[in-house]
Amino acid sequence: MGWIKRNLFFVVGGLIALLLLGAAGYYNYRSWDHNSTAFDRLNEIYGTLKQLADQKPSPGNAKIDNIKAAKEQEREVRDWIDQAANYFKPIAPIPAAMEVTSEEFAADLRRTIDQLQHEADAASVQLPPKYGFSFEAQRMIVKFAPGSLAPLAVQLGEVKTISEVFFAARVNALDGIQRVRVSDDDASGPQTDYLNEVSVRNNLAVETPYAVTFRSFSPELAAVLAGFAASPNGFIVKAINIVPAGAVTQGAAPGMPVPASPAPTVGTGRDGLPTVLKEQLLRVTLEIVIVKPLAKK
């Protein structure tokens, strides 16, 4: 005890040095543990970068920045989608209301059919007698199947737009329009008004098919195709079936394929020269799809 008293400063200094050595050892241990963790993390990052660099395509390197290129390509695609939207504008339903009532639809249906009949008459387009433009099942009722008013309103707007393309082209006759069934009431209508198909929906759009049978000469047919091509409403002509109008059997249903008549023989004109081209009335069935983009979320 006396020695400690005599060497008190030495003892205190030794204890302080011992504490400092312990603290330094603990700091070194913590630093080593931190460095080890950081090294393991660095190896993990390096492994991820190597994995990405080995992928095809890879993110790139100092000379080629594939990520930047991918972002630019995505921007170009989005710009193209925005431009293409000008050709896929929706057709307004009839009536154009958020909540459609039976009374409103019944009134607008009769008004639209009457308007289309007058437009056909003004364009000298022949229609079947008292034609209902594929809405024969609905035109004489005032109460409609539950849940059918909204899709029927959409179809009425689309049928009106389709019909007016043929009126603008001044085809000789519009024999029939066929649409998909969207209502229980459609079961009671003429089956020649309907297609045995359904609308198709994907992540981008809804595709709704229609079929139209008409009679015309080739210039009017060209005008119909040009009308659909110039339309902003997303019309796509999926298929076309053409036969001479004289080859149609009596009572054939609209949209039904019919056997073609034998090709006419080459005749001789009044001047003695052979007739190379002789225009004849055609019966045409167009299969049309309306592409309707889904609303952006």
Domain residue ranges in the chain: 89-248+280-293
Mean pLDDT for each 10-residue chunk of the chain (297 residues)? Answer: 61 65 63 71 73 61 68 78 74 87 93 96 95 92 90 95 96 96 90 92 89 95 94 92 75 45 48 64 95 78
CB contact at 8 A, 137 and 185: yes
- pLDDT attached to residue 267: 52
- pLDDT attached to residue 33: 67
Contacts of residue 228, Cβ cutoff 8 Å, sequence gap at least 6: 165, 235, 237, 288
Question: Which CATH number describes the domain made up of 89-248+280-293?
Answer: 3.30.70.60
For every residue of the chain, which 3-state class applies, written as one string? CHHHHHCHHHHHHHHHHHHHHHHHHHHHHHHHHHHHHHHHHHHHHHHHHHHHHHCCCCCECCCCEHHHHHHHHHHHHHHHHHHHHHHECCCCCCCCCCCCCHHHHHHHHHHHHHHHHHHHHHCCCECCCCCCCCCCCCCCCCCCCCCCHHHHHHHHHHHHHHHHHHHHHCCCEEEEEEEECCCHHHHHCCHHHEECCCCEECCCEEEEEEEEEEEECHHHHHHHHHHHHHCCECEEEEEEEEEEHHHCCCCCCCCCCCCCCCCCCCCECCCCCECCCCCCCEEEEEEEEEEEECCCC
- pLDDT attached to residue 115: 96
Burial of 82 (0-12, 13-18, 19+ CB in 10 A): exposed
- pLDDT attached to residue 10: 60
- pLDDT attached to residue 61: 59
CB contact at 8 A, 274 and 281: no
